[in-house]
Amino acid sequence: MNMKRYTQYMYSYPHKTAYGPLEGITLNQYLSDLAGAGHDLYLHLPFCETKCGYCNLFSVTGQGETAIDRYLDTVERQLRQYEPLFASANSLFTSLTIGGGTPLLLTEAQLERCFAMIRRYTRLARDAEIIIETAPNQTAKPKLALLKDAGVTRVSMGIQSFFDEELKVLKRSHRAKKARESLDLLMNSGFSRVNADFIYGVPGQSVSSFLSSVKEAVSFGPDELFLYPLYVKHGAALEQELNRGLVLDEDLAFRQYEAAAEWLASHGYRQDSMRRFVRPESPGGSREFSDCGFGSTLSLGCGGRSYLGNLHYCTPYAVTRESCLEQLVQYEETRDFCAVTHGILLSEEEQKRRFVIRHLLILPGLPLTAYRETFHGDAAADFPILHKWMEQGFLKEQRDCLALTEKGMGLSDYLGPMLISKEVRDKMNQWEALHGTKHNPIQREFKEL
């Protein structure tokens, strides 16, 4: 089989690098997508202590309290402009996610301000799920108490490894001892759900050291574990080390994944996707993606994405420090937050792809009746490759869904990118041609299995 198993993580579609300039669009035209209940709110806080070696997220280091205050002033101005729209659409948000960056890098007063602003200018459902990301170095008792008081239901901690040598390779700022203390603190802080992230495929990491991190994590009892293969994309600090000869071993990464998936299954964990493993006693919980592919998400701040019907938008994709800082300046200088200037309008064909991609890669899988009702057609007829994947044993039909088999699940980062349309791939490749490097796999031609 000639293939690249770790091509790309398809957590959304289309990728931000396929976005481009938009003209003449305002949020007022998309009010119906924000009408009533059921929408998600996202606040991006793009500040970190140090930049992790693999990070290609919109985040910057070295921003002091004043710079963060200025950013929050801008978020408040954005919220004030959105408030009348929310009122006329009678919008009710059923979830709030605060991500970054490292949200807990903010002072307690700044964190309190975030929650107060959101509650003042938006309507959050009484039982809204409120999710926040944290990192071991920023996890301390007073901030966790503040989150609990603010109604946070779920905390996600990026640990990545319980071995200092691996953390150093990843350029994470925390050490294993701190990760243990912080996870223990978090587990004893009374949140409804806690999840922890780990990375495999790290140079110098063995199957047994990865398995040992996973087993240790399980001993703390988090509700979910997310296991990510290491990717080094354009602009990430580790890219330079790849240029100097550092090697990512895909076969070893896959053996680490297999060993962890097998061990977790034998300990009752339910695997929902290539990355998500749910503790046996944990309540059903939400899907990795909170919508059915069409729910609205409105982002606040700079760097987060909004999804309103066929309109997807955000600030232009930025990875390097210079380009992130440039975006931050532009964000603070924005006068009209209702004008949408950068994004993509999805055709019906692209909406079908999005529906398939977002459902297929996580159990229970692609709902066939829902697809038929939404698009008045048959998923496998629209995407003949799905037939082929069934023949190859990557997919199976179960309970009105097309679901990944165990073999297919391990191939998620190969199968997902195969569903990218030619138009979107061309746009992504144009972006890569301008900004990318030889290490970015999306530049390669996809080989059919």
- Footprint of ligand SF4 on this chain (CB under 6 A)? 48, 51-52, 55, 57, 59, 100-102, 135, 158
The residue (of 192 and 320) whose beta carbon lies closer to ligand SF4 is: 320
Nearer to ligand SF4, 89 or 167 (CB): 167
The torsion defined by the Cα of 359, 357, 415 and 319, in degrees rounded to 10, comes to -120
- The distance of closest approach from Cβ of residue 3 to ligand SF4 in the complex, given in angstroms and rounded to an integer, is 27
Q: Are strands 60-61 and 47-48 parallel, antiparallel or unpaired?
A: parallel
Give burial (CB, 10 Å; 0-12/13-18/19+) of 23.
exposed
Coil, helix or strand at residue 201: coil
At its nearest, how many Å lie between ligand SF4 and the CB of residue 75?
Answer: 18
CB of 46 to ligand SF4, least distance (A): 8
What is the DSSP secondary-structure string of 368-405?
A: HHHHHHHHSS-HHHH-THHHHHHHTTSEEEETTEEEE-
Between CA 72 and CA 66 the distance in angstroms is 10
Tokens of 392: 């190859």
433: how many CB neighbours lie within 10 A of its CB? 9
Nearer to ligand SF4, 159 or 346 (CB): 159
- 7 vs 102, beta carbon nearer ligand SF4: 102
**Cα-to-chain-centroid distance, residue 398:** 27
Taking the complex as a whole, the smallest distance from the CB of residue 160 to ligand SF4 amounts, in Å, to: 9
Q: Of the two residues 44 and 354, which places its CB atom closer to ligand SF4 in the complex?
A: 44
Smallest separation, CB 30 to ligand SF4 (Å): 28
Whichever of 228 and 289 has its CB closer to ligand SF4, that residue is 228
Q: How far is the CB of 368 from ligand SF4 (least distance, A)?
A: 36
Q: How far apart are CA 59 and CA 68, in angstroms?
A: 12
Provide φ and ψ at 238, rounded to 5°: -70, -15
Residue 173 beta carbon to ligand SF4: minimum distance, rounded to whole angstroms? 8
Backbone angles phi, psi at 50, to 5 degrees: -140, 170
C-beta neighbour count of 371 within 10 angstroms: 24
What angle in degrees, to the nearest 10, is found between the helix axes of 207-220 and 176-187?
Answer: 30
Of residues 57 and 424, the one with the C-beta less far from ligand SF4: 57
Sign (positive or negative) of CA dihedral 97, 72, 37, 366 = negative
With respect to ligand SF4, which residue has the nearer C-beta, 102 or 412? Answer: 102
- CB of residue 60 vs ligand SF4: minimum separation in angstroms? 9
